[in-house]
Amino acid sequence: MGRYVQVEPNVKVYVEDIGEGTPVLFLHGWPVNYKMFEYQLNVLPKHGIRTIAMDFRGYGLSDKPSTGYDYDRMADDVRAVIDDLGLTDAVLAGFSMGGAIAAHYMARHQGHGISKLALLSAAAPVFTQREGYPYGLTPEELNEQIIEPIFEDRAKLLDTFGGMFFAKEHSKPFMNWFHALGMEASSYGTISSAMALRDEDLRGELETIQVPTAIFHGKKDEICPFEFAEQMHQAIPSAELVVFEESGHGAFYDELEKYNAELIRFIQS
């Protein structure tokens, strides 16, 4: 069932909450929304897993304010959802940008309510290159390839981005559906979140994560290169690395059966 959670006086976020059992809170990536987890929401509740997925502010069915797209505020929104739902001993599962925000949540809120962490193709520890971190796009390339095109033709940019998302070829109706998820976001939220991806740096925070952590990452990821996963694996003391050899960024669909099986294993272990 769906509900709204007040995260600021004038901002509510949407939460889908299905099933009973061990609670798992999914955080979506840029620039889509909770519906990207459709193929997990269909399966996990049948295995005694309470499957919860939220839309970040600016995305999907949530309110779309003009501000609040830095990692601090987004992590605080996650805290508001966890508190509103009364979650304890939950699994926090973040994909791409959502993975970075999940990792930041663990540091900023000392893992409040969370007993396990799943970092799914996470945009961490840093999404763009900087001194001592030669992975991913440079900040200038991100501006040129992602942020500036949003001002010119957001639909085309999302089509290009979607074309990089998967390593396998999927049906045109599926790709059209996935593109439509990105178009449900606010344009200004999409831009502000891209700026956060460019600027935020979680190095130094990952070492503080103490809960069991699973890093799911596609070997063919063109958006968050596999080196990201190796960096996270080195930094997080409790981490295991689950490699999807045939997957790109969208391992959740490129290798759907393995992905769901590994998720269930990790959640129930």
Q: Domains, the chain, ranges and CATH?
A: 2-268 (3.40.50.1820)
- What is the distance between the alpha carbons of residues 245 and 258, in angstroms, rounded to a whole number? 11
Give the tens place of pLDDT for each residue, 123-175: 999 999 999 999 999 999 999 999 999 999 999 999 999 999 999 999 999 99
The percent of residues above 90 in pLDDT, for the chain, comes to: 99
Is 47 a known active-site residue? no
Is 84 a known active-site residue? no
* pLDDT for the residue numbered 251: 98
* pLDDT for the residue numbered 269: 93
Entry pTM: 0.98
- Residue 224: φ, ψ to 5°: -115, 90
Give me the residues of the chain with pLDDT under 70, please.
Answer: none
* pLDDT for the residue numbered 1: 87
Set 28, 104, 217, 249: catalytic member = 249
- What is the distance between the alpha carbons of residues 129 and 117, in angstroms, rounded to a whole number? 25
CA-wise closest residue to 227 among 127, 90, 87: 127
* pLDDT for the residue numbered 42: 97
- What is the distance between the alpha carbons of residues 109 and 198, in angstroms, rounded to a whole number? 23
* pLDDT for the residue numbered 74: 98
* pLDDT for the residue numbered 53: 98
Give the tens place of pLDDT for each residue, 86-111: 999 999 999 999 999 999 999 999 99
Is 249 a known active-site residue? yes
* pLDDT for the residue numbered 204: 93
Identify the DSSP state of 145: I
Set 96, 186, 193, 247: catalytic member = 96
Set 193, 221, 247, 254: catalytic member = 221
* pLDDT for the residue numbered 202: 98
